Amino acid sequence: MNNFSKILWGIVLIALGIVIGLNALNITSINLLFKGWWTLIIIIPCLINLFNTKESGKTGDLIGVVVGVALLLAVRDIISFSLIWKLLIPIILVAIGLSMIFNETIKAKVTNKVKEASKDGLENITATFASQKVNKDGENFKGANLDSVFGGVTLDLRQANIEKEAVIKASAIFGGVEIFVPSNINLKVKGTPIFGGVSNKVINKKENEKTIYIDAFCMFGGVDIK
């Protein structure tokens, strides 16, 4: 969570506290448990994540906002639930398709770097219904494939030797991938999350000459880069 996301959450909590306080003092009578209030549990977090500039890929959050708003309108009898079910799958498919096209077009450099490196063969690190932690202290690192399926993979590169460039292809399906990178590198990340998230907490610096290219895909999972 970046500073801007924290500010947005702070505003939400302050507003909630003010309303509860004013209601307690009988100054206002705002009903917080209005019909369909539970849809805000879906809408607010997804809406805030859309403004999180350090997150790569917004498909899941965008779908979450659309679904949450649609459910709220249905609960309030503004639209019918049958209409939601008819349009839900087409909306999701269109959103995912647009996200894939956008990522491939805008972040083609990351894709090409990963493809080139894959021709020479990359180390495979896999966790299926299990967890695996790999530490590369003092080792020369050029790249790796990270695959997590109902499990977790942690790759620690903080003390690894990176000559100029390195590539990582990460996939998390109902699981998680955690990548720790050195402080003296820049990151180029392409994220394709489907009901998941790709979080990049690294701040690039102009003086850093080394670069790590990360192509991350997650479905009902997450990829965290720290």
d(CA 114, CA 68): 36
Q: Phi and psi (nearest 5°) for 225?
A: -115, 125
pLDDT band (50, 70, 90) for residue 12: confident
What's this model's pTM, rounded to 2 decimal places? 0.57
User: Taking a C-beta distance cutoff of 8 angstroms, is the pair 212, 168 a contact?
Assistant: yes
From 118, 119, 120, select the one nearest 145 (Cα to Cα). 118
72-128 per-position pLDDT tens digit: 888 888 888 888 888 877 877 777 776 666 655 546 667 666 666 565 667 888 889
pLDDT at 41: 87
Q: pLDDT higher for 55 or 210?
A: 210
Q: Do 175 and 152 touch, CB atoms closer than 8 A?
A: yes
Q: Which residues contact 116 (CB under 8 A, 6 or more apart)?
A: none
DSSP string spanning 173-214?
Answer: ESSEEEEE--TTEEEEEEEEEESSEEEE-PPP-TT--EEEEE
- Mean confidence (pLDDT) of the chain: 81
- Beta pairing, strands 176-180 & 222-225: parallel
